[in-house]
Amino acid sequence: MQVNAKRENNILYIRLCGELDEHSAAQARHSADTLAESSALVERAVFDLGEVSFMDSTGIGFLIGRYKKFRRLGVPVYITNTPPTTDKILMMSGIYSLIPKI
């Protein structure tokens, strides 16, 4: 799993590419948290899931964990570009009430 970031108009876009499962989550968590810590003064963080080729329930835990991290920094979090298979899991978990889809 690759975690890339770009900053545009005070919005931090975090793009996940590849498979997000229990094995890849630790590294992805570390990368995303490093980005969070260096995200001073961003207005919001947006997780772009467009390139996620596989995700299981580990992804739910991953996203809620990052949501908590950003919330401590006062940064609201959003999700965008969810592929249908990933959407099915996220929808089931009710995560969109915490992290809205844009």
Partner 1 sequence: MENYMKMEIAARSENESFARSAVAAFALTLNPSLTELSDIKTAVSEAVTNCVVHAYRDNEENAKILIECKTETLPVQAHRGDRCEKYGVIHITVADLGCGIEDIDKATTPFFTTLQDDERSGMGFTIMQTFMDEFSVESEKGKGTRVRMTKKIKATENGEVKERVNA
Contact 28, 16 (CB under 8 A): yes
Which residue of 62, 70, 75, 79 would you call a contact of partner 1, by CB under 8 A? 62
Whichever of 5 and 64 has its CB closer to partner 1, that residue is 64
Q: How far is the CB of 97 from partner 1 (least distance, A)?
A: 13
Burial 12-24 (b: 16+ CB within 10 A, else e): bbbbbeebbbeeb
Q: How far is the CB of 64 from partner 1 (least distance, A)?
A: 7
Told to check if 58 binds partner 1 by CB under 8 A, we report: yes
Residue 101 phi, psi dihedral angles, 5° rounding: -90, 135
Told to check if 34 binds partner 1 by CB under 8 A, we report: no
DSSP 3-state of 14? strand
Residue at 58: amino acid letter: T
Whichever of 6 and 49 has its CB closer to partner 1, that residue is 49
- Token pair recorded at residue 54: 């596989």
Contact footprint for partner 1 (CB under 8 A): 19, 21-23, 25, 29, 54-58, 60-62, 64-65, 84-85, 89, 92-93
